[in-house]
């Protein structure tokens, strides 16, 4: 696992966007795994800028989102479908038929989840997965206790996650209690993973996920087992890492390799 610590949120967003754009230029029909939350917004904005100013072409890519609230329709303003369109898809030239998001209204949830997994495989697997991390260590909506081999399925959100996300819904009561999410095992199969975290409120969980034991209690910790993961942190999110100096040292010495 490579840990890259930069001064600001803007810098990590730009660095991560550079990685994504390099992949798109090298493999125009690549498959991206996408995340919601506030964290990847800077990355999406930078990719939109690259599309508008540098002609970065998204016309052949496919995208799979990690998760969606269960029980709300795509048109709901807080659905992840709406979030992704508003903050990313509407501003680039991705083809609508190549955009995949879990359905918040599927009636046969198991059949839907199986289909989602099969579509990922049919398109050759996820080349690059973008991740944020929840305060309880979840990646996607894989709450503590999720099996490390889990696949796409429905999950009950923790009280903490419901409270964290109430800021978008207006009140805790309005936050859905369930989500359809890619599993930890699904995410682990991505060929390359980028985890982004910013701000002091992520410092503790980042230290646990990166330096603590690999455990289903912090599903982000499973990334320690993934061979191609880069973690981009701003100084605040990196502030509780024990091996902070070493990560900086590695980064400084990298150009000499």
Contacts to ligand GLP by CB under 6 A: 35-39, 66-67, 132-134, 140-141, 161
Q: Residue 99: in which H helix or E strand, if any?
A: strand 99-100
**Known catalytic membership, residue 67:** yes
Of 46, 68, 136, 234, which residue is the catalytic one?
A: 136
Nearer to ligand GLP, 70 or 141 (CB): 141
In the chain, count H helices and then E strands. 9, 10
Known catalytic membership, residue 143: yes
Nearer to ligand GLP, 56 or 103 (CB): 103
Catalytic residue among 117, 127, 143, 234: 143
Using the minimum distance from each CB to ligand GLP, give the nearer residue, 14 or 138.
Answer: 138
Closest-CA residue to 196 (of 156, 154, 160, 238): 238
Say if CB 15 and CB 46 are below 8 A apart.
no
Q: Is 136 in the active site?
A: yes
Tokens of 163: 């409270």
CB of 108 to ligand GLP, least distance (A): 23
Q: How far is the CB of 59 from ligand GLP (least distance, A)?
A: 26
Cα distance between residue 236 and residue 196, in whole Å = 12
Sign of CA dihedral 134, 138, 140, 145: negative
| Nearer Cβ to ligand GLP (56/234) | 234
Answer yes or no: 245 catalytic.
no
Give the active site residues: 67, 136, 138, 143
């Amino acid at each position: 696992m490579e840990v890259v610590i930069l001064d600001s949120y803007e810098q990590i967003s730009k660095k991560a966007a550079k990685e994504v754009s390099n992949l798109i230029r090298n493999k125009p029909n690549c498959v991206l795994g996408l995340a919601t939350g506030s964290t990847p917004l800077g990355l999406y904005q930078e990719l939109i800028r690259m599309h508008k100013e540098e002609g970065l072409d998204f016309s052949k890519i496919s995208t799979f989102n990690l998760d969606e609230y269960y029980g709300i329709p795509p048109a709901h303003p807080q659905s992840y479908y709406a979030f992704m369109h508003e903050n990313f898809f509407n501003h680039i030239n991705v083809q609508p038929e190549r955009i995949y998001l879990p359905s918040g209204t599927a009636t046969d949830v198991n059949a839907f989840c199986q289909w989602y997994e099969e579509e990922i495989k049919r398109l050759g697997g996820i080349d690059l997965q973008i991740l944020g991390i929840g305060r309880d260590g979840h990646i996607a909506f894989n709450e503590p206790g999720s099996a490390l081999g889990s696949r796409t399925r429905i999950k009950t959100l923790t009280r903490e996650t419901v409270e964290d996300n109430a800021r978008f819904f207006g009140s805790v009561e309005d936050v859905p209690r369930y989500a359809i999410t890619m599993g930890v095992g699904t995410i682990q199969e991505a060929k390359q993973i980028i985890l982004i975290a910013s701000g002091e409120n992520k410092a503790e969980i980042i230290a646990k996920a990166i330096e603590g034991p690999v455990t289903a209690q912090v599903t982000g910790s499973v990334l320690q087992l993934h061979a191609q993961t880069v973690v981009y942190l701003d100084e605040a999110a990196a502030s509780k890492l024990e091996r902070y100096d070493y990560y900086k040292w590695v980064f400084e010495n990298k150009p000499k390799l």
